[in-house]
Amino acid sequence: MSEENSEEQQLLQAMGLISNAGNAKSLAMEAVAAAKKNDFALAGKKMKEANDSLVEAHNAQTKMLTQEANGQHVKLTLLTVHSQDHLMTAITFIDLAKELIDVYQKLAEK
């Protein structure tokens, strides 16, 4: 693989990670908004979609890590760091969204 293709591939992987992680976070935010309106069916649907996007983002990260482990070193760029930041933020927000939805459900039951 040429260096140019490798750099282009890394750019596409980072952009895919950013896109999927961003979608995951946005969908989790939509889930919380639905739960706030006591629409727990929609909240559950949005959380499923958020988790699906998170899996796609995680798969992109895993591919990058596998390449690194196989000696195809990833060039560390601001975009690469930014993509990792998006993933970690999405993971954190999804965890928080699950808790918030649970709280809204408990409040709705009272």
Q: Point out the annotated binding site for Mg(2+).
A: 85
73 is catalytic: no
Count CB-CB contacts under 10 A for residue 100.
Answer: 16
The span from the CA of 45 to the CA of 91, in Å, is 17
Residue list, annotated binding site: 85
Structure tokens that stand for 91 in this block: 């993971």
SS3 of residue 110 by DSSP: coil
Q: Which of 58, 73, 82, 86 is catalytic?
A: 82
Question: Which active-site residues does the annotation give?
Answer: 82
